[in-house]
């Protein structure tokens, strides 16, 4: 297992934790539970961002810039929904 695969695994695990914490925050029944999940969610989101940035700097998570034409097409498609 190389470094890229390890980082991908960590990123996927962190994204899973973000999903769980988000649901815990939304579904919490008391302010204390809500606050605890919210704090954990924010920490996990920061961790996910750090992992992504580290991978992107190494070229392990390439992304492309969306063209204005594509952005306009998506806006047009969903503008009638609202």
Nearest to residue 21, comparing CAs of 7, 36, 10?
Answer: 36
Q: Is the per-residue pLDDT at 41 higher than 70?
A: yes
**pLDDT, tens only, 1-20:** 999 999 999 999 999 999 99
What local confidence, expressed as pLDDT, does residue 61 receive?
Answer: 87
What local confidence, expressed as pLDDT, does residue 63 receive?
Answer: 84
What local confidence, expressed as pLDDT, does residue 56 receive?
Answer: 94
Contact (CB, 8 A) for 60 and 7: yes
């Amino acid at each position: 297992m190389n470094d890229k695969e390890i980082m991908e695994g960590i990123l996927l695990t962190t994204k899973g934790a973000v999903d769980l914490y988000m649901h815990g925050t939304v579904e919490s029944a008391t302010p204390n539970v809500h606050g605890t999940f919210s704090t954990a969610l924010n920490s996990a989101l920061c961790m996910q961002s750090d992992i992504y940035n580290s991978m992107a700097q190494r070229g392990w998570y390439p992304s492309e810039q969306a063209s204005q034409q594509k952005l306009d097409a998506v806006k047009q498609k969903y503008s009638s929904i609202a």
